[in-house]
Chain A
Amino acid sequence: MLERFLTLPAPIMGTIAAILVVFAVVLPAAMFMVLWERIFLGKLTQRPGPNRVGPRGLLQTAADALKLLSKEDFDPKNADHALFYWAPVFFMLPSFLVYAVVPFGKFGGSYGPALISDLRVGLFFIVAVFSIHTVAIMMAGWGSNNKYSLLGGIRGVAQAISYELPLVFSFLGVILLTGSLSTVRIVEAQSGGVWNWYIVAQPVAFLVYLVCSIAEVNRVPFDIPEAESELVSGYNTEYSGMRFAMFFLAEYASLFATSAIAVTVFLGGWTAPFPEPAVITQSPLGYFVWSAFWFAFKVFGLITLAIWIRGTLPRLRADQLMNFAWKFLVPVVLANVFATGLLGFVVKSGNGLGSWWPVALGTWLALGGWLVLGWATAPKAERRKVAY
Chain B
Amino acid sequence: MADINDIKTAFLQELASAGTAADLQQLKVKYLGKKGILTAKLKLLPTIPAEERPVYGKLMNELKMFIEGEIEGKESEIRDAERRSKIASEAIDITLPGKYTKPGKMHPISTVLKEIIDIFVSMGFDTEVGPEVELDYYNFEALNIPKDHPARDMQDTFYISDDVILRTHTSPVQVRTMERKKPPLRFIAPGKVYRCDADVSHTPMFHQVEGVVVDADISFSDLKGVLEIFVHLMFSKDTPVRFRPSFFPFTEPSAEVDIGCILCGGAGCRVCKGTGWLEVLGAGMVNPRVFEMVGYDPERYTGFAFGMGVERITMLKYSIDDIRMYYENDIRFLRQF
Whether A and B are associated in the same complex: the answer reads no
The interface of chain A, by Cβ under 8 A from chain B, is none
- Chain B interface residues (CB < 8 Å from chain A): none
